[in-house]
Amino acid sequence: MSGKMFSSLLKDHIKCLTSIAEIEPDIENAGEILKKALVKGNKILICGNGGSAADAQHFAAELVGRFEKERQAFPAIALTTDTSNLTAIGNDYGYNRVFSRQVEALGLPGDILLCISTSGNSENLLLAAEAASEKGLKTIGLLGKEGGLLKKSADLSITVRQNITARIQEAHIFILHYWAALIENDL
């Protein structure tokens, strides 16, 4: 029984990853936007909930540390990691403001806000995108399903058109690794 499940999941995974070839131009465009911001001395702010929060931290670590080779550190902040900020903002302003308040504090014109979401409908990400727009940041949405409401409020949306959260997350981490390699190899 488990062998059949493995084969089925593997087929679904391969099908999902193959399908993102259709959005390669958007993935490339977003990678160039991220790269140009870093070249200009700007930073990348990254947010998401649950597994997407983990992906935000993972991508920030790839940029600040390294991905595959030694090079300069790049400025990236996962807005999901400071428990004092998250709990204070959540307590004082509500959970919906945990990312927007940090964007208000840390974001500067020319910075990039990367919102990662499998649904694109998280209120805290929508408010973060709104705050980013007000502060002069570009917003990139790394999304799933149909892109949700965030697809409309982001400057650029990369939408993995799958309905299964795990497959979306697997495609997201591939895209994040691609961007890390692109940035690392070109800068």
- Sorted by where each starts, the structural domains of the chain and their CATH numbers stand as 2-186 (3.40.50.10490)
Helices (H), the chain: 2-19, 24-39, 51-64, 83-93, 100-106, 123-135, 150-153, 165-186
Q: Cα separation of 17 and 112, whole Å?
A: 25
Contact 177, 66 (CB under 8 A): no
pLDDT at 136: 97
| CA Rg value for the chain | 16
What is the identity of the amino acid at 44?
I
E runs forming strands in 91-181: 112-117, 138-144, 156-160
pLDDT at 144: 97
pLDDT (tens digit, 0 to 9) for every residue of the chain, 187 residues total?
A: 567 999 999 999 999 999 999 999 999 999 999 999 999 999 999 999 999 999 999 999 999 999 999 999 999 999 999 999 999 999 999 999 999 999 999 999 999 999 999 999 999 999 999 999 999 999 999 999 999 999 999 999 999 999 999 999 999 999 999 999 999 998 8
pLDDT at 1: 53
E runs forming strands in 129-175: 138-144, 156-160
Give the pairing of strands 44-48 and 112-117: parallel
pLDDT (tens digit per residue) in 49-82: 999 999 999 999 999 999 999 999 999 999 999 9
Tokens of 176: 């994040």
